[in-house]
Amino acid sequence: MSDQHPELHELGWSDWFERRAECKPGETIARVAAVDRDQLLLVDQNGHFRAKLAGSYRYRHQFSHELPCVGDWVCLDRQPGDAFGVVHAILERRTSLRRKSAGNATDDQMIAANLDRVVIVQSCHVDFNPKRLERYLVMVMDGGADPCILLTKTDLVEPAVLAAQLAEIDSIGLMAPVLTLSNVTRDGLDEFKRLLAPGKTYCFVGSSGVGKSTLINRLIDRERLETGAVSGTGEGRHTTVRRELIRLDGGALVIDNPGMREFGIVGAESGIASRYADIADLASNCRYRDCTHRGEPGCAVRGAVDSGDISREQIESYLKLSGESDFHQMSHAEKRKKDRDFGRYIKSVKTDLKNRD
């Protein structure tokens, strides 16, 4: 299909969405920049504007994960002169970050959608905790986004301490990039900025106090954060909405909202880890010891996909998480070691999740 929305690429649009856009004639596409109760702040090639969800959409979609969240792409109706656009559809999400509900997956709370990379931030000073890092990793991968690990406050520890932490992360054997920086000395800041590609969407998760806001303020100039709010009058109510989807000078998009801050603190994610553990168990039944689960005969993992026991998405994120995309390039001994390490890793995450509450 030809690209019908070149002007949206700076906002994160891609062929993936183009193939799934099912807008009716006359409807346009925009991205959700913030959600404020029943009002949406949208952005398209012409700038920011307000919108509401069509009553019919609300009627047909009652689960919380079906409601728009920041980062979503929507189809809307907006006549010239209208104060509000009317949103009729939300495009399929390529990735998401969601807070798992204790009960049904349909009650999951969406935090943000269509993130390309989630930066998991820990301070190397007092916050460093590999177990927590692993939990974040599993949650990020479960939503389909690529993770990246960032250690902040390098100015507060001796180089040897930092080196030991990096070695510990390395021993987990994940393929996610690991970066370090100090918001104070700005050491590592330029390297980190190089990771941010134009038209890609990023967000930052991690415990309170690790330096997420400080870093985001370094990336955006402060002024834009404060004047980023858009005022408007909605049915007699005067409100101000702070933009949560921010475009950096280099063209990368950053989502920053309060939900991010709480992400990972809430429990009940053990379902995810046990799902991965199930796949790891299955893999031990594959005919070939070094099966990559990418089409070998006698593959138990593919078998489970074919019979519908596990979804293709789960397998994809499992393969990503286990780093098995690089698997076939390893020697036999390396593969054996990796299998063992990953099995152990998954078990530790699972145990850790169990022990948490």
Ligand X SMILES: Nc1nc2c(ncn2[C@@H]2O[C@H](COP(=O)(O)OP(=O)(O)OP(=O)(O)O)[C@@H](O)[C@H]2O)c(=O)[nH]1
Binding-site sequence positions for Zn(2+): 286, 291, 293, 299
Q: Is 182 in the site for ligand X (CB under 6 A)?
A: yes
Using CA atoms, how far apart are residues 59 and 15, in angstroms rounded to an integer? 30
Q: Which stretch binds ligand X (CB under 6 A): 126-134, 150-158, 165-173, 244-252?
A: 150-158
Among 95, 96, 152, 270, binds ligand X (CB under 6 A): 152
Q: How far is the CB of 221 from ligand X (least distance, A)?
A: 16
Q: Which does 183 bind (CB under 5 to 8 A by kind): Zn ion, ligand X, none?
A: ligand X
Nearest-approach distance from CB 302 to Zn ion, in angstroms: 6
Residue 53 contact among Zn ion, ligand X, none, beta carbon within 5 to 8 Å by kind: none
- Please report, to the nearest 10 degrees, the dihedral formed by the alpha carbons of residues 187, 206, 136, 164 taken in order: 40
By the 8 A CB rule, do 63 and 107 touch?
A: yes
**Nearest-approach distance from CB 213 to ligand X, in angstroms:** 3
Size of the site for ligand X (CB under 6 A): 15
Q: Which of residues 194-223 bind ligand X (CB under 6 A)?
A: 208-214
Give the residue among 95, 59, 62, 56 at the shortest CA–CA distance from 75.
Answer: 56
Contact call for residue 153 and ligand X (CB under 6 A): yes
User: Residue 265 burial by CB count (10 A; 0-12/13-18/19+): exposed, middle or buried?
Assistant: exposed
Q: Does 282 bind Zn ion (CB under 5 A)?
A: no
| Residue 191 binding ligand X, by CB under 6 A | no
Among 32, 145, 299, 315, binds Zn ion (CB under 5 A): 299
The binding site comprises 152-155, 206-214, 286, 291, 293, 299
Stretch that binds Zn ion, among 7-15, 234-242, 292-300, 339-347 (CB under 5 A): 292-300
- Least distance (Å) from Zn ion to the CB of residue 346? 16
From candidates 118, 291, 304, 349, binder to Zn ion by CB under 5 A: 291
Residues 306-345 that bind ligand X (CB under 6 A): none
Smallest separation (angstroms) from Zn ion to the CB of 185? 47
Question: Which residues belong to the annotated binding site for GTP?
Answer: 152-155, 206-214
The site partner of 311 among Zn ion, ligand X, none (C-beta below 5 to 8 Å per kind) is: none
Identify the CA nearest to 42 among candidates 4, 3, 90.
90
- Three-state SS sequence of the chain: CCCCCHHHHHHCCCHHHHCCCCCCCCCEEEEEEEEECCEEEEEECCEEEEEEECHHHHHHCCCHHHCCCCCCEEEEECCCCCCEEEEEEECCCCCEEEECCCCCHHHCEEEEECCCEEEEEEECCCCCCHHHHHHHHHHHHHCCCEEEEEEECHHHCCHHHHHHHHHHHHHHCCCCCEEECCCCCCCCHHHHHHHCCCCCEEEEECCCCCCHHHHHHHHCCHHHHHHCCEEEEECCEEEEECCCEEECCCCCEEECCHHHHHCCCCCCCHHHHHHHHHHHHHHCCCCCCCCCCCCCCCCHHHHHHHCCCCCHHHHHHHHHHCCHHHHHHCCHHHHHHHHHHHHHHHHHHHHHHHHHC
Binding flag, residue 156, ligand X (CB under 6 A): yes
For Zn ion, the binding residue among 118, 174, 280, 301 (CB under 5 A) is 301
Stretch that binds ligand X, among 28-36, 65-73, 75-83, 182-190 (CB under 6 A): 182-190
Between 74 and 120, name the residue whose CB sits nearer to ligand X: 120
Tell me the closest approach of the beta carbon of residue 181 to ligand X, in angstroms: 7
Q: Any contact of residue 183 with ligand X (CB under 6 A)?
A: yes
Contact footprint for ligand X (CB under 6 A) = 152-153, 155-156, 182-184, 208-214, 261
Contact footprint for Zn ion (CB under 5 A) = 286, 291, 293, 299, 301
